[in-house]
Amino acid sequence: MFILRSLVSIFFYTTALFTFIIFGTIFIILGLFPNAVMFAYIPFFCRILLLSLGVIIRVHGEFPKNGPYILMFNHGSFIDPFVYAAIIKGKFTAVIAAENYKIPIFSSILRKFRAIPIHRKNRKKAMESIKYAESVIKNEGYHMAILPEGTRTLNGKLKQFKKGGFHMAINTNTPILPIGAGLPFKYKPKNRWYVHPCIIDMYIGEETDVNEYDQLGVSGLLEKVENQIENLISKKGS
């Protein structure tokens, strides 16, 4: 079983690497065209890459046509950015760990769609990144994707949410759209090298109006969205 699992994992890693290089290069070239062209192809590219990794996604619910939104997702695996980008409609960017800018090719892609690096160990730089993200939402109308746990779960359960994204939502008066994915953790958790090909069910929740902040406070707003995402990921293909 170990040998078979290893061979399957090596096959998917190798296939995905070549797919990533090819489509990553195409994506960088598309960055020379108007943004509308680039964003139109992102979901397609991500679905092909996920397929090369042995992952098929099924979407439950409709991604809203209006916006912008602050998009909040649970974080279970390294494939999460591609899983979520595969279902987002419209122009978007994301707040990501600064370490991702050290990855060849991937860093070039991040620059093309203006991903905002956040330095998790430097509070001053982190606050500067959040302020910049707020300006992108207010002035340019981008959806802003955030993984509020900050890092991947080690046991499949939600980690405690950080407050930065909720302050961002309140400061820009931008509604939060919770989205949950049920199986990325089982595909490849942080502390395991081999993969488990699977179908990942994506659940798009109902938007949360941040005006409720007046009654709930930041902590109350955080708790509400956390509960929404917890309920979404517990549906398990229903």
Note the pLDDT tens digit of each residue in 126-167: 888 889 999 999 998 899 999 999 888 888 889 999 998 998
C-alpha distance from residue 180 to each of 75, 103, 110, 165 (Å): 9, 26, 23, 16
Tokens matching residue 42: 């992102």
What does pTM read for this prediction? 0.88
Q: Considering all CA atoms of the chain, what is the largest pairwise distance in Å, rounded to the nearest integer?
A: 57
Task: Please say if the pLDDT value at position 32 is more than 70.
Answer: no
* Strand pairing report for 176-181 and 198-204: antiparallel
CB atoms within 10 A of CB 47: 18
51-94: per-residue pLDDT in tens?
999 999 999 999 998 889 999 999 989 899 899 999 999 899 99
Query: pLDDT value at position 93?
Result: 92
CATH architecture group of domain 2-233? 3-Layer(aba) Sandwich (3.40)
| Of the ranges 27-41, 86-100, 208-222, the best mean pLDDT one | 86-100
Task: Please say if the pLDDT value at position 215 is more than 70.
Answer: no
Query: pLDDT value at position 56?
Result: 94
Half-sphere exposure of 238 (CA within 13 A, CB side): 7
Contacts of 63 (CB under 8 A, 6+ apart): 87, 88, 89, 204
Query: pLDDT value at position 33?
Result: 66
